[in-house]
Amino acid sequence: MTKTNVTRRQMLKTAAAASLATTGPWWLVRGSHAARAKKLVFWQLPNFTPLADQLQKEQVYEFAKSAGLKESEVEYATVANEGFAEKLAAALEAGNPPDVARLYESNVQFYAAQGHLLDVTDLVDKMRREPKGIFDSSLTAVRYNGRAYGVPLAVNPWPVHARIDLLEQHKLDYPKTWDEFIETCKKIQSPPRLFGFGMCLGLVEDTTDNVMNLLWCYGGKMVEADNKTVVMNSPENAAGVKVIEAMFRTHKIIPQGTIGWDNSGNNKAYQSRQAAFVMNPTSIYAYLNQSDPDLQKRTGLFPVPAGPKGTINLIDTWAFGAFKQNPYPELARGLISHFMQPANYDKIIQSTGGRWVPVYKRLFDSPFWKSKPEFKHFVSMAETGRPVSYAGSPTPAAGEVLNTHVIPKMIQRVLVDNWEPPRALEECHRRIEEVYARNLKL
């Protein structure tokens, strides 16, 4: 083997070249960011109706014009839900995020905790000063350390989608309690073509939402309001889990296949008329509006039945976030302000046909929200609804619990591995504690 001597100079040259090659792109990025031309960049997640998308686009250009921007200085991008996180991560790393984007629930606190979002407390305060104000429940998601880092765009309620035609056929009313719900399901279902309850039980986010919503009605919760004390392993939660187990195993009102469902499983079950009841955001209702008006006519939207601790509804919140790294924060704030002017805002919300529930209370006075009995319960849901992280707020830790499917794993321990609920809850409790402890250290 031959031995090669490397001189100090060669070594230094090589090291300099390697340093330049590896750090060059980052220096270039810094330069490009500083030199970014005046431009308004808006990332739009698709709405349910083309009309809502169109209105939103028009409002972006309308604002840009009023701010003295040319059309070429506006970048309106429709970004799919799939791959949104990767796209935003790359844009943030490169120092080139959008000025404004629509963010889901705990993402506001996630990005706020990392220092990426502008403080928009003044914009939210302005909204609160509107006559009748806004629903306080919509603020939980956007507040971080006492300040608002997102502007709540819409309340996203999770009503029970119910087949009222089947209830009428069996001369039944919508059940008021979970016990009645089980009996109703048993009466109207005819498996395998039609099951009573399409409860999502797969290893996905919707399962956490469905399960927690039921557990609340039995007095359970995941974490205390201090966002530190995990209370998953409680007799109340165990009681709720036993009800789910009974619905699945004893009463057989939940189809066995639900343990393999993805987030669209309950949508498909309802849309294919294979489930009489499902708990889901109104995306199903909005879909039916376009694709199956007949089924929409047979559909009612109701609060969840009551447990020993009453009726508690799940809501989540979509919000607009403005990113700090953009060089023209006033444009971003101006655009959000333009969207949230009640007149502009009302047009978009109504064009979604019930998909979005307004955050401004007074907009419910509009005839639109009185036009359909399905909308009747939206106000109370928006007033009293809770985020999935209840009694805590949608912190990054809560987001991690949701995304890592800790609660779905717990329910599958019971339904698939035949664990007793307390044992499954104990394991789940431990995992959630780990997540919260880790996030508190960050």
Partner 1 sequence: MPRTTSGTRRLFRWIGNGLLLVMLVWTLVPFYWMIATSLKADREIYGFEATLVPHHPTLAAYVRLFQQTPFLKYVRNSTIIAVSTTAVSLVFGCLGAYALARLRFRGRRLIARGLVFTYLVPPSLLFIPLFAMMSALSLVDTHQGLILAYLGFTVPFCTWLLMGYFRSVPLELEEAALVDGCTRLGALIRVVLPMSLPALAVVAFFSFTQAWNEFLYANVFVNSVEVRTITTGLTLFIVEDVFFWGPMMGAAFLSALPPLVVYLVFQRWVVKGLTLGAVKG
Q: Which is nearer to partner 1, 175 or 408 (CB)?
A: 408
The answer to whether the Cα torsion of 139, 145, 147, 150 is positive or negative is negative
Q: Which is nearer to partner 1, 41 or 64 (CB)?
A: 41
Shortest distance (Å) from residue 89 CB to partner 1: 7
Q: Which is nearer to partner 1, 230 or 253 (CB)?
A: 253
Neighbours of 409 (CB within 10 A): 17
Phi/psi-derived region of residue 194, left when phi > 0, alpha when psi is between -120 and 50, beta in every other case? beta
Strand partners, 134: 360
Q: Which is nearer to partner 1, 133 or 192 (CB)?
A: 192
Q: Which is nearer to partner 1, 118 or 204 (CB)?
A: 204
Shortest distance (Å) from residue 235 CB to partner 1: 33
One-letter amino acid for residue 397 of the chain: A
Cα 10 off chain centre by: 56
Q: What is the DSSP string of 203-234?
A: SSHHHHHHHHHHHHHTT--SB-TTSS-B--SS
Shortest distance (Å) from residue 268 CB to partner 1: 6
Site residues (vs partner 1, CB under 8 A): 25-26, 28-29, 31-33, 41, 43, 46-48, 50, 75, 77-83, 86-87, 89-91, 93-96, 193, 206, 263-264, 267-268, 271-274, 280-281, 283-284, 286-287, 291-292
Q: Which is nearer to partner 1, 206 or 400 (CB)?
A: 206
Q: What is the CA radius of gyration of the chain?
A: 25
Shortest distance (Å) from residue 356 CB to partner 1: 11
Shortest distance (Å) from residue 78 CB to partner 1: 7
Tell me which residue of 397, 361, 435, 436 sits closest to 132, measured CA to CA: 361
Q: Which is nearer to partner 1, 62 or 93 (CB)?
A: 93
CA distances to 144, 208, 235, 437 from 397, rounded to whole Å, are 13, 14, 23, 9
- Element counts in the chain: helices (H) and strands (E): 18, 11
Q: Which is nearer to partner 1, 240 or 255 (CB)?
A: 255
Shortest distance (Å) from residue 44 CB to partner 1: 10
Q: Any idea which residue has 């009551």 for tokens?
A: 306
Shortest distance (Å) from residue 328 CB to partner 1: 17
Shortest distance (Å) from residue 212 CB to partner 1: 17
Q: What is the DSSP string of 321-335?
A: EEBTTSS-HHHHHHH
Q: How many CA atoms lie within 13 A of 308 on its CB side?
A: 10
Separation between Cα atoms, residue 92 and residue 176, nearest integer Å: 47
